[in-house]
């Protein structure tokens, strides 16, 4: 029997990483918000890898910090090992990754939700989303509670029609043995959404007491760890280490001998899996020439002996998993605490969403995270934030938040999903951005704090600190350009030591820093008037000087990109009547209804010639 349970402005379905950010953003923007989870103990859960960040993913978390999201601050408190990846490469691909204490992260996130004004945290399964006049009007729980609402954000993760698979054993289930969400999938189909089936998986977890770490390579954290937030109160502390080991020919032979028992190759699994995070059996089949694969052995937290075997994701039967694990150096006697499993789930075709993450045909219905076809906690949190913000902005009669791909990785992520779609779980990578030299993780504050401030999620004081920081960067780069080091025996000895040509005349400090192998800090002995500046200012000044030419070229590209983005396309444009458009372009443009000329050009099936035809049409 149904009953009226309450009313809210925004109902968020799911309290994973997407749902948390959506709910907090909506509540912080002044909307009465309710967030529903099937189990309060699963709030902020990390059912797969217990880590935040990584290549390109760390960029997303840094950007969330500057917009006013919650994940970065909680990660700084709950993470137990911090490492900056790709430091041997250029700053465009530097990415922070931190190993998390899984349960501590959950505890902290649940506490944030419980303390947030205008936000209710409710344990209940949503089975129906109702509409009136085509717009969202209410959500209904399995027990019959009806919550009136003006917007709903679907953040179902891998729970939507979830099914776990281990060998030939299948179960209707969400991650970690939680219940799957079944009826909601049928409701979404009835509303007209096109759902598809994706798949992901996890590796075995073993007991640290049974592992021989002497046979593995130690992976310590950074000597001077950096936080995800730019204004962290405390410096992060490395409180744990990870280890590295490898599979071998015996491991591979065990897998090959049992491929016929793998659900991936026996037809049990129908869902499409992630290309960039494949199962170990897929690696063995796809790369038969490789004699070993890396495995990272990572702690699940400080209060547990459970270790995560990153790189060993599988859905093979349990007896095969035991034999496989025991063939690996250091894991010969490992006791498996949780067996690996694959999980299939339903998700939407993201091209049905607008750049605001609102379903184009159902006003008030938003999607975020794995429901939108992405993978990863960080991608989910970024989308959840944008969906929650836009739901609140629409309710409050404000202009929507649309982040473009030239200004953030979050914008790139959303643009890729809603414009190009995806036929596999989408993962953010630095290679997906054509503007990655500008979209660095170190300058996310100047790129996005102004937007967070305008939204009302970043304080005036914090924004002022960002502006002051970059004013100091500007002054320092100008000083370095104007300050010269005279030729001397000491300078030439320094240059020779670093493999650089010597000088016979004065040389600007800026030109010294631009040289390979030389840095802002290493040239300090030849700059007696150097001011005492924070490390972040010194680093930004060095990057601005070293990559000035490349950054200038990228800014010209961004200017051209935004010129096309400003050419708006009417939502009711009749593409079939436009001369010069190919049939495929007409069909795709009619289906996806791009907002502007730039977005139209990024649609698969729309050629440069089609874009030219659109430009001619618009000019008339």
Cα–Cα distance measured from residue 34 to residue 38, given in angstroms and rounded to the nearest whole number: 13
- pLDDT-derived band at 145, boundaries 50, 70, 90: very high
pLDDT at 507 (0 to 100): 96
The upper half-sphere exposure of residue 436, i.e. CA atoms within 13 Å in the direction of its Cβ, equals 19
pLDDT tens, 485-517? Answer: 999 999 999 999 999 999 999 999 999 999 999
* Residues 303 and 383 both lie in one domain: no
**Residues forming beta bridges with residue 97, ordered by sequence position:** 53, 83
pLDDT of residue 276 exceeding 80, the answer is no
- Cα separation, 354 vs 360, in Å, equals 6
Name the domain boundary from 433, 455, 477: 455
395 near 10, Cβ under 8 Å?
yes
- Kindly tell me if the per-residue pLDDT of 234 is higher than 90: no
Same domain (yes/no): 32, 151: yes
- 527 lies in some domain: yes
Q: Is the pLDDT of residue 278 over 90?
A: no
Q: Regarding predicted confidence, which is higher, 611 or 105? A: 105
pLDDT averaged over the chain? 95
CATH code (residue 339)? 2.40.30.260
302 in the same domain as 162 = no
Residue 57 resides in a domain: yes
Measured distance CA(598)–CA(404) in Å, rounded? 10
- pLDDT for 198 equals 96
Q: Label residue 604 by pLDDT band (50, 70, 90).
A: confident
Q: Check: CB of residue 387 under 8 Å from CB of residue 367.
A: yes
Q: Please, is 557 exposed, middle or buried when counting C-beta atoms within 10 Å of its C-beta (0-12, 13-18, 19+)?
A: middle
451 and 481 in a common domain: no
Q: Residues 365-397: pLDDT tens digits? A: 999 999 999 999 999 999 999 999 999 999 999
pLDDT for the residue numbered 106? 98
Q: For residues 47 and 173, give the distance between their C-alpha atoms in angstroms, rounded to a whole number.
A: 13
Q: Are the beta carbons of 363 and 152 closer than 8 angstroms?
A: no
CB 362 within 8 A of CB 191: yes
CATH classification of the domain holding 609: 1.10.150.570
The answer as to whether 559 is a domain residue is: no
Q: Name the helix (H) or strand (E) containing 388.
A: helix 377-395
Domain that holds residue 587: 566-619
Kindly state the tokens that stand for 261: 């028992």
Of 344, 366, 400, which residue is a domain's last? 344
Residue 181 has pLDDT above 90, yes or no: yes
Q: Which strands sit side by side in the sheet containing 169-172, from one edge to the other?
A: 169-172, 163-166, 341-348, 195-202
Neighbours of 610 (CB within 10 A): 23
Residues 77 and 153 in one domain: yes
In a domain, 522, yes or no: yes
**CA neighbor of 203 nearest in space, from 339, 92, 104, 403:** 339
Written as one string, the DSSP assignment of 310-363 is: ET------HHHHHHHHHTSTT-TTPPEEE--EEEEEEEE-GGGB-TTSBBTTST
pLDDT of the residue at 616:
86
Using CB atoms within 10 Å of the CB of residue 551, give its burial: 0 to 12 exposed, 13 to 18 middle, 19+ buried.
Answer: middle
| Cα–Cα distance, 104 to 75 (Å, whole number) | 10
**pLDDT confidence tier of residue 272, bands split at 50, 70 and 90:** confident
CATH number at residue 21: 3.50.50.60
CATH number at residue 504: 1.10.10.1800
Query: pLDDT at position 512, please?
Result: 96
pLDDT of residue 530 exceeding 90, the answer is yes
Answer yes or no: do 539 and 592 share one domain. no
Whether 68 and 190 map to the same domain: the answer is yes
| pLDDT value of residue 269 | 82
**Residue 328, domain member (yes or no):** yes
User: Mean per-residue pLDDT for 282-290?
Assistant: 93
> Is pLDDT of 620 > 80?
no
Assess whether 497 and 364 both reside in one domain.
no
Of 420, 436, 455, the position where a domain reaches its end is 455
pLDDT grade, residue 564 (50/70/90)?
confident
The C-alpha atoms of residue 67 and residue 450 are separated, in whole angstroms, by: 8
* End-to-end alpha carbon distance in the chain: 59
Into how many domains does the chain fold? 4
Residues 472, 603: one domain? Answer: no
Instruction: Render pLDDT for 441-469 as a digit per residue (tens, 0 to 9).
Output: 999 999 999 999 999 999 999 999 999 99
Say what the pLDDT of residue 579 is: 87
Q: Nearest CA to 101 among 121, 75, 127?
A: 75
pLDDT in tens, 396-449: 999 999 999 999 999 999 999 999 999 999 999 999 999 999 999 999 999 999
Same domain, yes or no, for 169 and 28? yes
Residue for token pair 């399995």: 142
Nearest 5°: the CA angle 106, 101, 164 is 65
Q: What is the dihedral of CA 420, 423, 429, 433, to 10 degrees?
A: -10
Distance, in Å, from the CA atom of 85 to the CA atom of 256, rounded to the nearest integer, reads: 33
Q: Are residue 543 and residue 402 in the same domain, yes or no? A: no
pLDDT at 102: 97
- What pLDDT score does 617 carry? 86
pTM, 2 dp:
0.96
Rg (CA), the chain: 26
- Give residue 233's pLDDT: 79
For the chain, percent of residues with pLDDT exceeding 90: 88
The mean per-residue pLDDT over the stretch 76-91 comes to 96
Distance from chain centroid for Cα 341 = 23
- Residue 275 has a pLDDT of 79
For residue 270, pLDDT over 90 is answered with no
Average pLDDT estimate for 102-125? 98
How far are the Cα atoms of 28, 224, 280, 312, 504 from residue 283, in angstroms, in the given order?
44, 35, 5, 10, 57
Structure tokens at 362: 């159902």
Instruction: Tell me, rounded to whole angstroms, the distance of Cα 133 from its chain centroid.
Output: 35
Helix axes 102-115, 71-78, angle to 10 degrees: 140
Same domain, yes or no: 540 and 598: no
Q: Is 267 left (phi over 0), alpha (psi -120 to 50) or beta?
A: left
Q: Using CA atoms in the order 600, 606, 610, 616, what is the torsion angle rounded to 10 degrees?
A: 0
Residues facing residue 69 across a β-bridge: none
Q: What is the pLDDT of residue 267?
A: 81
Q: What is the pLDDT of residue 615?
A: 87
């Amino acid at each position: 029997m149904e009953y009226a349970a309450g009313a809210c402005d925004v109902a968020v379905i799911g309290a994973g990483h997407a749902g948390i950010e959506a709910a907090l953003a909506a509540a912080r923007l002044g909307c009465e918000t309710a967030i529903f989870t099937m189990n309060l103990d699963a709030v902020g859960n990390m059912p797969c890898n217990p880590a935040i960040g990584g290549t390109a993913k760390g960029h997303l978390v840094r950007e969330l910090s500057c917009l006013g999201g919650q994940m970065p601050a909680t990660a700084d408190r709950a993470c137990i090992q911090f490492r900056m990846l790709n430091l041997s490469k250029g700053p465009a691909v530097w990415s922070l990754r931190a190993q998390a204490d899984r349960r501590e992260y959950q505890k902290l996130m649940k506490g944030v939700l419980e303390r947030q004004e205008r936000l209710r945290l409710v344990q209940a399964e949503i089975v129906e989303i109702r509409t009136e006049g085509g717009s969202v009007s209410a959500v209904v729980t399995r027990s019959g509670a009806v919550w009136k609402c003006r917007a709903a954000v679907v953040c179902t993760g891998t729970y939507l029609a979830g099914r776990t698979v281990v060998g030939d054993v299948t179960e209707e289930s969400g991650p970690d043995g939680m219940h799957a969400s079944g009826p909601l999938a049928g409701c979404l189909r009835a509303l007209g959404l096109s759902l598809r089936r994706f798949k992901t998986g996890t590796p075995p977890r073993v007991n640290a007491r049974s592992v021989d770490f002497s046979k593995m390579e130690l992976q310590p954290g950074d000597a001077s760890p950096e936080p995800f937030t730019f204004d962290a109160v405390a410096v992060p502390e490395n409180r744990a280490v990870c280890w590295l080991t490898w599979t071998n020919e015996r491991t591979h032979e065990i897998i090959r001998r049992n491929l016929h028992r793998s659900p991936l190759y026996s037809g049990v699994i129908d869902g499409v899996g992630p290309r960039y995070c494949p199962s170990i059996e897929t690696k063995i089949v796809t790369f038969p020439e490789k004699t070993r694969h890396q495995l990272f052995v990572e702690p699940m937290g400080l209060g547990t002996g459970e270790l995560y075997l990153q790189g060993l994701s599988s859905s093979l039967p349990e007896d095969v998993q035991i034999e496989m694990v025991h063939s690996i150096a250091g894991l010969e006697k490992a006791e498996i605490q949780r067996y690996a499993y694959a999980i299939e789930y339903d998700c939407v075709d993201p091209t049905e969403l607008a750049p605001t993450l609102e379903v184009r045909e159902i006003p008030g219905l938003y999607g975020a995270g794995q429901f939108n076809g992405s993978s990863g906690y960080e991608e989910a949190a970024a989308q959840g934030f944008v969906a929650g913000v836009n739901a609140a902005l629409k309710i409050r009669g404000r202009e929507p938040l649309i982040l473009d791909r030239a200004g953030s990785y979050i914008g790139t992520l959303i643009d890729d999903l809603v414009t190009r779609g995806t036929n596999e779980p989408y993962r953010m990578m630095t290679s997906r951005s054509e503007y990655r030299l500008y979209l660095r993780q170190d300058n996310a504050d100047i790129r996005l704090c102004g937007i967070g401030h305008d939204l009302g999620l970043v304080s005036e004081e914090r924004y002022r600190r960002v502006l002051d920081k970059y004013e100091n960067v500007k002054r320092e780069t100008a000083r370095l350009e104007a300050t010269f080091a005279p030729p001397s025996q000491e300078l030439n000895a320094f240059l020779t030591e670093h493999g650089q040509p010597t000088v016979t005349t004065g040389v600007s400090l800026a030109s010294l820093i631009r040289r390979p192998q030389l840095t802002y800090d290493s040239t300090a002995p030849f700059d007696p008037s150097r001011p005492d500046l924070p490390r972040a200012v010194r680093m930004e000044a060095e990057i601005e000087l070293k990559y000035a030419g490349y950054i200038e070229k990228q800014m010209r590209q961004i200017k051209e990109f935004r010129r096309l983005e400003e050419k708006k396309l009417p939502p009711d444009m009749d593409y079939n009547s436009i001369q010069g458009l190919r049939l495929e372009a007409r069909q795709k443009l009619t289906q996806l209804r791009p907002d502007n000329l730039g977005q139209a050009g990024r649609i698969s099936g729309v050629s440069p010639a089609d874009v030219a035809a659109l430009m001619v049409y618009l000019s008339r």
